[in-house]
Amino acid sequence: MNGEAVVFWVFSIVTVASAAVVVLSRTLIYSAFALLFTFFGVAGLYVLLGADFLAATQLLVYVGGILVLLLFGVMLTHKIYDLDLRTETAQFAPGLIVAVGLFVILSATAVRTRWMDLPRPPAPTTREIGRLFLGQYLLPFEAASVLLLVALMGAAMIVRRRRDA
Amino acid sequence: MISLQHYLVVSAALFSLGILGLLTRRNAVHVLMSIELILNAANVNLVAFSRFSAGNLGGQVFAVFVIVVAASEVAVALAIVLTLYRLRRTPNLDEADILKG
Amino acid sequence: MEELLRSLALFKPETALVAGLLLVVIADSIGAAWRNAAMRLLTLASLAVALGLAFNLQASGAKASIFSGMLVVDPLGAAFKVILVAAGLLTVLVFTFRNSRELHGLGQGELMALVLALVLSCLLLAASSDLVILYLALEMVSITSYVMVAYLKGDRMSNEASLKYVLFGAASTGSMLYGLSFLYGMTGTTSLPAIQAFLAGGVPEANRFGIYAITLLVLAGFGFKIAAVPFHFWCPDVYQGAATPVTALLSVLPKAAGLAIALRFFYGTFSAPGMSPWDLEGSINWTALLMVISVLTMTLGNVAALTQTNMKRLLAYSSIAHAGYLLMGVVALSENGARGLLVYLAAYLFMNLGAFLVVTLVHLHDGSFDLRDYAGLHRRAPLLTVAMAFFLLSLVGIPPFVGFLGKLYVFAAVIEKGMGVYATIAAVNAAIAAYYYFRVLKVMTIDSGNEDKPVLRLAAADRAWLVAFALANLLPIFFWGQVEAWARGALVLYAGR
pLDDT tens-digit series, residues C14-44: 999 999 999 999 888 887 778 888 888 889 9
C260 closest CA partner among C21, C75, C117:
C75
Q: Between B1 and C228, where is the model more confident?
A: C228
Considering CB atoms only, which of A106, A137, A148 is closest to B68? A148
Whether ipTM exceeds 0.90? yes
Sign of the alpha-carbon dihedral angle for C22, C28, C32, C38? positive
Please give the average per-residue pLDDT across C117-127, as a whole number.
95
- The Cα A151–Cα A57 span in angstroms is 19
Give whole-number Cα distances, C212 to A104, B29, C98, C440, in Å: 15, 32, 50, 42
The tens digit of pLDDT for each residue in C392-443 reads 999 998 888 888 888 888 888 888 888 888 889 999 999 999 999 999 888 8
Surface-to-core class of residue A163, CB atoms within 10 Å of its CB (0-12 exposed, 13-18 middle, 19+ buried): exposed
The confidence score (pLDDT) of residue A163 equals: 54
Residue C65's H or E segment, with its range, is: strand C64-66
CB spacing of A154 vs B21 below 8 angstroms = no
Sign of the alpha-carbon dihedral angle for A98, B49, C128, C163? positive
How far off is chain B from A164, nearest CA to CA, in Å?
Answer: 18
Classify residue A127 as left (phi > 0), alpha (psi -120 to 50) or beta: alpha
**Domain residue ranges in chain C:** 285-497
The tens digit of pLDDT for each residue in C260-283 reads 998 888 877 776 544 444 444 555
Q: Taking CB atoms and an 8 Å cutoff, what residues of chain B touch A42?
A: 40, 43-44
The tens digit of pLDDT for each residue in C381-405 reads 888 889 999 999 999 988 888 888 8
Q: Taking CB atoms and an 8 Å cutoff, what residues of chain B touch A53?
A: 60, 64
- The Cα A30–Cα A135 span in angstroms is 43
Say yes or no to pLDDT of B99 above 80.
no
Task: Tell me the pLDDT band of A85, cut-offs 50, 70 and 90.
Answer: very low
Long-range contacts of A137-142 (CB under 8 A, 24+ apart): A137/B61, A137/C68, A137/C70, A137/C132, A138/C4, A138/C67, A138/C68, A138/C70, A139/C67, A139/C68, A139/C70, A139/C71, A139/C133, A140/B65, A140/C70, A140/C130, A140/C132, A140/C133, A140/C136
C439-465 b/e (C-beta count within 10 Å ≥ 16 → b): bbbebbbebeebeeeeebebeeebbeb
Backbone angles phi, psi at C71, to 5 degrees: -120, 160
How far off is chain B from C171, nearest CA to CA, in Å?
Answer: 6
Mutation pick from B31, B62, B82 vs chain C, by most beta carbons of C within 10 Å, is B62
- The Cα C375–Cα C366 span in angstroms is 12
Say yes or no to pLDDT of C467 above 80.
yes
Mutation pick from B7, B9, B16 vs chain A, by most beta carbons of A within 10 Å, is B16
Judged by CB atoms within 8 Å, which residues 89-148 of A form the interface with B? 89-92, 94-96, 98-100, 102-103, 106-107, 110-111, 115-120, 122, 125, 128-129, 132-133, 137, 140, 144, 147-148
In degrees, rounded to 5, the angle at the alpha carbon of residue A155 between the alpha carbons of residues A150 and A156 is 100
The confidence score (pLDDT) of residue C335 equals: 75
- The Cα C439–Cα A62 span in angstroms is 52
CB spacing of C132 vs B96 below 8 angstroms = no
The tens digit of pLDDT for each residue in C311-369 reads 999 999 999 999 999 988 888 767 778 888 888 999 999 999 999 999 988 888 888 88
Q: Note the helical H segments in A58-137.
A: 68-76, 92-112, 126-134
Domains, chain A, in order of start with CATH, read 3-113 (1.20.120.1200)
**Domain residue ranges in chain B:** 4-88
The DSSP 8-state label assigned to residue C66 in this structure reads: E
The confidence score (pLDDT) of residue C273 equals: 47
CB spacing of A112 vs C210 below 8 angstroms = yes
Q: Which residue of chain B comes nearest to A142, CA vs CA?
A: B65
One-letter amino acid for residue C365 of the chain: H
Between C131-149 and A138-159, two packed helices, what is the crossing angle to 10 degrees? 10
Which parts of C241-359 are beta strand (E)?
none
CATH code of B4-88, in short, is: 1.10.287.3510
> Any CB–CB contact under 8 A between C70 and chain A?
yes
Cα C325 off chain centre by = 13
CB spacing of C188 vs B101 below 8 angstroms = no
Please give the average per-residue pLDDT across B11-36, as a whole number.
92
How far off is chain C from B35, nearest CA to CA, in Å?
Answer: 6
CB spacing of C241 vs B99 below 8 angstroms = yes
Residues in chain B: 101
Between C12-28 and C2-9, two packed helices, what is the crossing angle to 10 degrees? 80
Q: Between C311 and C103, where is the model more confident?
A: C311
Residues in chain C: 497
- The Cα C87–Cα C97 span in angstroms is 18
| Whole-prediction pTM | 0.92
**C-alpha Rg value of chain C to the nearest Å:** 22
Please give the average per-residue pLDDT across A105-132, as a whole number.
91
The tens digit of pLDDT for each residue in A34-81 reads 999 999 999 999 999 999 999 999 999 999 999 999 998 888 877 543
The strand pairing partners of C280, in sequence order, are: C271
- The Cα C108–Cα B90 span in angstroms is 29
CB spacing of A116 vs C185 below 8 angstroms = yes
Give whole-number Cα distances, C456 to A56, C210, C384, in Å: 62, 59, 9
Which parts of C249-365 are beta strand (E)?
none
Residue C486's H or E segment, with its range, is: helix C480-488
